[in-house]
Structure 1
């Protein structure tokens, strides 16, 4: 294993948040775009952000990125 357990957790945590910020805008429609603006809210606020689905996709993508990084690190130290 190329990384210690705490280092692996730290790398995965940072990777997960970077991927989260990349995934958050996917499929978002604002209230203005949907034509249903609730009074007292910002027209640019999302209608249905689907955060749980995005968190699951973020976890899958971050796990794949972490696996690729681990494989690279394993073969780079040889």
Structure 2
């Protein structure tokens, strides 16, 4: 696996994990003011969620890399059908 493939796989894993982490701990605004959406989160805590996402994505990427390195998961076999 080239470094570019590794980076692309990490990015895909990161975005997937982000969408799983975003709804965690969200509380809606009780009484929204003028111009505020009823479903908007009170405190989105995006930095904390980005850090959690990065850590989980790194662990998952390491698992993917280990499977690829051990030749359990190979892109070439998927394409060749071997």
TM beyond 0.5: yes
In the TM superposition, what whole-angstrom CA distance separates every residue of 1:56-75 from its partner, at most 9, and x where no partner exists?
00000000000000011111
Q: Within 5 A, what are the aligned runs for 1:22-61?
A: 22-31=20-29, 35-61=30-56
Which residue, 64, 70, 73 being the options, matches 2:65? 70
- Ranked by relative contact order (alpha carbons within 8 Å, sequence separation 6 or more), the top structure is 1
Runs of 4+ in structure 1 off by over 6 angstroms are none
Q: So what's the TM-score if we normalise by structure 1?
A: 0.86
Aligned mates of 2:47, 2:40 — CA distance in 1: 17
